[in-house]
Amino acid sequence: MGFIKFVGKTCGFMGYVVQYACVTHCTFEYIGDFVMCSGPSMEPTLESNNILLTEHISPRLQTLRRGDIVIARSPTNPKQNICKRIVGLPGDSIKSHFPRRAKIVPRGHVWLEGDNSGNSADSRVYGPVPQGLIRSRVVCRVWPLDKITSLTEY
């Protein structure tokens, strides 16, 4: 009788573990998650090893705005994520330095740039980025603790 009770309790415990794992997965996949920033492209706004809280709802509802900082798949390396600021939305005219002419952001794309223009591979290098590559929008920096700030109103 003791073995059957043990198996019953173990199955009950495993049921809770599976439920919590499913809730956690859905939360991180569809609502938001944490991202560690690396590289100098967003300095001084963000530095390497900053941990950011991001949300996945805005990209899905297509409510992103100019000035939002986003996490996207790199257009040149799909295994890598990039952290950049939205500078242009579909239909916007972007002034290009090389060559000196305006580029129009096509429908379904955004223009992404790093805040550190001298050290950022961004849309100035690879052009407009498909909106489908945007994974999430940065809500705030949560680490380091002395620099916790909202990044939604820049």
Q: Which of the four pLDDT bands, split at 50, 70 and 90, describes residue 118?
A: confident
Report the pLDDT value the prediction gives residue 141, as an integer from 0 to 100.
84
Marked catalytic residue, from 38, 79, 84, 150: 84
Q: For residue 34, what is the enclosing H or E element?
A: strand 32-36
Q: For residue 110, what is the enclosing H or E element?
A: strand 109-113
Domains assigned to the chain: 32-145 (2.10.109.10)
State how far the Cα of 57 lies from the Cα of 139, in Å rounded to an integer: 11
Mean pLDDT of 83-96: 86
State how far the Cα of 76 lies from the Cα of 130, in Å rounded to an integer: 12
Report the pLDDT value the prediction gives residue 85, as an integer from 0 to 100.
93
Query: pTM, whole model, 2 decimals?
Result: 0.75
Q: Is 84 noted as a catalytic residue in this protein?
A: yes
Give 32-82 pLDDT, tens digit per residue.
888 888 888 888 888 888 888 898 888 888 889 998 999 999 888 889 888
Give 94-117 pLDDT, tens digit per residue.
887 666 677 888 898 999 988 888
Report the pLDDT value the prediction gives residue 99, as an integer from 0 to 100.
63
| Residue 3 clears pLDDT 80, i.e. is over it | no
| Residue 154 clears pLDDT 50, i.e. is over it | no
Share of the chain above pLDDT 70, in %: 90
Report the residue count for the chain. Answer: 154
Marked catalytic residue, from 5, 38, 41, 147: 41
